Amino acid sequence: MPEASMLGTCLCTCLVIAVVSSSMAEPADSQTPGRTTVPETKRRGISGFVHLLGPGLITGASDDDPSGIGTYSQVGSQFGYGLLWLALFTFPLMSAVQELCARIALQTGVGLGASLRRKFPRWLVGIAILGLLAANTFNVGADLGAVAAAGSLLSRGALHALWLVVPVALLIIGMQVFATYATIFKIFKWLTLALFAYVVTAFFAHPPLLE
């Protein structure tokens, strides 16, 4: 199922960050204050491992965005398990993209745009950035619409989906402007627990075991 691929991608990203970080660990006397190192993580045990997986966990979970959930629901209602075989191809592709992004960021210490600017002409980087901007704009619009539709469902139709688009957008903008990175990080990290809703839903949906 798509959510299974997403969870696998999330786990892959977490492991890549842990492994690559271990191979690139800095000397003890040059650590950045407040940064959790791999040796420190090993000393702290399970709690340290969970703390280290924070960025990778959020990155993997963010792939399961509202527009994606809406797509899963529509495709599932129309085709059932008929497209499940595609997971054999989409999972390796998703894992490769997540791993590639994680390794580039860990190796260079900069974002993807800055990495491209170091290797390619500015005009080519500009085209790539414009394409990314267009894709993200459509994706954000779809996410806002999906969140608004979910809110309308929770209100049993009392609130129209269009009425919720602007409040949701203002809430997200307000968090980015007024909240600190640490606060947003903690909120998103705990929100990843919502992924367990897939497991709970599987028991209530009673899917055919042979499928």
- pLDDT, residue 2, reads 42
Q: Is 66 a member of any domain?
A: yes
The tens-digit pLDDT sequence of the chain (211 residues) is 444 444 444 444 444 444 444 434 444 444 444 455 666 666 766 766 666 666 667 777 777 788 888 888 888 888 887 888 888 998 899 888 878 887 888 888 888 788 888 888 989 988 988 998 898 899 888 888 888 888 888 888 888 888 888 998 999 899 889 988 888 888 888 888 888 887 888 788 777 766 6
| Range 50-54, long-range pairs (CB < 8 A, 24+ positions) | 52/17, 52/18, 52/21, 53/14, 53/17, 53/18, 54/185, 54/189
Q: Is 16 a member of any domain?
A: yes
Name which of 27, 209, 62 is nearest 143 in CA terms. 62
Tokens encoding 172: 């997200």
Count of all residues that appear for the chain in the document:
211
- pLDDT, residue 37, reads 60
pTM for this model (two decimals): 0.63
- pLDDT, residue 134, reads 92
- pLDDT, residue 174, reads 92
Q: Is 97 a member of any domain?
A: yes
Q: Is 33 a member of any domain?
A: yes
**Domains contained in the chain, number:** 1
| 3-state percent breakdown (helix, strand, coil) of the chain, nearest 5 | 80, 0, 20
Round to whole Å and give the CA distance between 173 and 163.
17
Q: Is 155 a member of any domain?
A: no
Q: Is 134 a member of any domain?
A: no
50 is in which domain, residue-wise? 1-109
The tens digit of pLDDT for each residue in 102-126 reads 788 888 888 878 888 888 898 998 8
- pLDDT, residue 15, reads 43
Sign of CA dihedral 158, 163, 165, 170: negative
